[in-house]
Amino acid sequence: MNNHTLKSYDIQLGQLTQSILQMGTLVRTMVLNSGKALIHKDASLVETAVTTDRKINELYATVENQATILLALQNPMAVDLRFVTSALKIADSLEQAGDLAKNITKRSQKMGAYSARRIEKPINEMVESVVRMLDDALSAIETRDPKKAMQVWMQDDEVDEQYHQLLNQIQQEIQSDPSNVEACTHVVFSIKNFERIGDYATSMAKTVYYVTSGQPASKDALRAAMAAMQQ
């Protein structure tokens, strides 16, 4: 972040960034817990998810208030203006990702006697990939790093592939024992939610690219960035 003549301006920009990062940290925790809930069906994680989601919603309101004050009092320009106006989009992506993680945690309690431990390894791998995307997206937001943002974008294909592989495994589970169809449906919706959380991380990364470059993210921009990183 650039240093500005008014110290209060820098402080307010820093506070806005920190509020977004706090949201991201809570979402990260929710995603990890939702993966544990899906495999171990730990009922205590449901209340934790509800409480954490409430904190995320409170931080969303804080981001909205901080962005409004910056626009009204500081008249940001260029990169700063793009960041402030994009802050709510980033916060909205985080809020939606948190909702999806909470949904996964709640679904874990509707699976009856079925255990997802047979597919524990690929589920854990998908959760790790999604969390890595969130971490990199938050790092890109904190440092305003377009290269880091592009790395998040490139990871999205990996998560999509993990989703499709898991979907095939779950379909095989249903075929081998049709009595698992209802429980497996909850698992299918859950892994789809993980895939969508990855999409939200990608959306945040694209926003960072726009903030730093002034240009909308596109496939051409991604290809150019990939070529530059390979040089």
Residues of the chain with pLDDT under 70: 1-6, 222-231
pLDDT at site 214: 86
Contact assessment for residue 42 and residue 106, using Cβ atoms and an 8 Å cutoff: no
pLDDT of residue 217: 78
Residue 66's pLDDT is what?
97
Q: What is the pLDDT of residue 76?
A: 87
pLDDT the model gives residue 231: 58
Among residues 187, 123, 125, the alpha carbon closest in space to that of 155 is found at 125
Longest dimension (CA), the chain: 67
Please report the pLDDT score of residue 7 as a whole number. 81
Domains of the chain by range and CATH? 7-230 (1.20.58.220)
pTM of the model: 0.92
Alpha-carbon gap, residue 12 to 75, rounded angstroms: 12
Output the six-digit token pair for 179.
């009595």
d(CA 13, CA 184): 45
Distance separating the N- and C-terminal Cα atoms of the chain: 27
Which token pair is 5? Answer: 């003549």
pLDDT tens digits, 55-91: 999 999 999 999 999 999 888 889 999 999 999 999 9
